[in-house]
Chain A
């Protein structure tokens, strides 16, 4: 029997080593290609083991050719930080009263939140509401507000946590000691809820960092492009990278740019923040998935 167990373990490990390689290989291809000499790429294509090593793509990006990229980075960072903070705040504010069984409106609110998960107006009405009524087109609000700021799923996740993890007795006793609702929320609820705040905050951060849809729909002005929209544009429109609108300096510089490797280098720069921070938030991410699946 021990024999059987050991062969199962071997089998499981082998399968998972194959999966690990399959998950990582494309990233390695990207990185290796960005570090290859341009003529080598044009001749032999992207490769895992470049024959001619070159950092020309990165030199080009950091010597001014990539000024557009760094601007886009700034916009994405701003949108992510602001959107996550604001979204987390209003999500918690809505979820807390919903978790209070003594609050008369908690049940109707739960329905209002839940119904948004079942039914929606779809893209066309949403687009028209945001462009005709609120006029978010080509403003930074177009990147932050439509669709992303808060969603029913996160509200319900948080509400469940508040209800199951914070004993009503604590709230009662704080209230008897004279603490108002806002004070209770700030110094008790938020303080005891770090796990769920971290989880939802992380989900929000990923959604904002990776969003390209709002930028495509609501933004025409390339000055307001976030990093995903810039990447998107570069991939779909080879001319864009070579054009002066990208390299704000001189278009002469752009004409000499190693386009294929620069393309890959920009993609590398786009994933680096996630790759670097992932080990730190990985724990919350896995927990959040399990929590959402079991309770969702």
Chain B
């Protein structure tokens, strides 16, 4: 049992500080890292309002007000990257959640413990692989000269070659497929963990009453994992302004011909900074992402709190 040794003893401030000095020393390295790695760049958001001049230094550069934002929002880029980021995220949240729940329910039907564990391990495997390797796998499938689809599948169907890396219309499907292939296993395991936590007695009672499997799913499983579904969905809604950078950059192999369906805010900021050297516009896009993203997280959390206080993030 926890004993609060200080409860009845008035302790002098100095000895209290001495008592906690070791704990404070422990905290320092991690705290210092967070300050330098996470907090210092937050102040750097002002770069979006400056004309960065490296010879003057970042903080001494001239203020330009909203000029960087004006440039960003007068181009069609702002519309395209916002549209892509949101549309991909929304459709993946819906498809990913529905499929993950269905597959988790099915996994629960696999009675042999060994098989269930085996399936879990395999569907998590793509999750572990770096996105660079995923790009290789994609290339082995999609390449024009040597890809499996162009050399084996399409000829068998009597169809012409497809230049995947130059035709943007295919990419919404390819990216959706790759994203599901890589990430679905993770969500299945999460929902599976929730489902095996449900008390078996509910199902026994339902079976005695003659409920079919389908009725059990609708009447027991789904309602009991609903709070978790709602919470995870809202949390991903909070991150709707962010996307998996590697997926959008590596898998299409940064091909310029297909930017209109592969460019998202993250890739735009990256290319602006390192490709074009346009620090101002890149910083403006990053600022837009950070602020809108923050508002979305707060809103999502506010809604979660309203529904179920325990599931809220804060």
Contacts and interface: CB of A to CB of B under 8 A. Distances in A.
A97 B123 contact: no
Interface string B136-160: 1101110101111011100000000
Interface string B35-47: 0111111111101
Contact of A27 (B23, B137, B287): B137
B120 interface: yes
Contacts of A264: 136, 140
Interface residues of A, number: 104
B290 A94 contact: no
B140 A97 contact: no
A125 B293 CA distance: 16
Interface in A35-90: 41-42, 44-48, 90
A228 B133 CA distance: 8
A149 B33 contact: yes
A274 interface: yes
Interface stretch (B75-83, B84-92, B107-115): B107-115
B190 A289 contact: yes
Interface in A147-161: 147, 149-150, 152, 155
B164 interface: no
B302 interface: no
Interface string B42-56: 111101000000100
Interface of A: 1, 4-5, 8-9, 11-13, 15-16, 19-20, 22-24, 26-27, 29-30, 33, 41-42, 44-48, 90-91, 93-98, 100-105, 109, 112-114, 116, 118-129, 132-134, 145-147, 149-150, 152, 155, 168-169, 172, 180-182, 185, 206, 209-213, 216-217, 228, 231-232, 235-236, 260, 263-264, 267, 270-271, 274, 278-279, 282, 285-286, 289-290, 293-294
The 4 closest A-B pairs by CB, nearest first: A125-B44, A45-B151, A121-B41, A94-B30
15 contacts: A23-B122, A23-B185, A26-B141, A27-B137, A46-B140, A98-B27, A126-B41, A128-B41, A150-B34, A217-B274, A264-B136, A282-B124, A285-B128, A289-B190, A294-B194
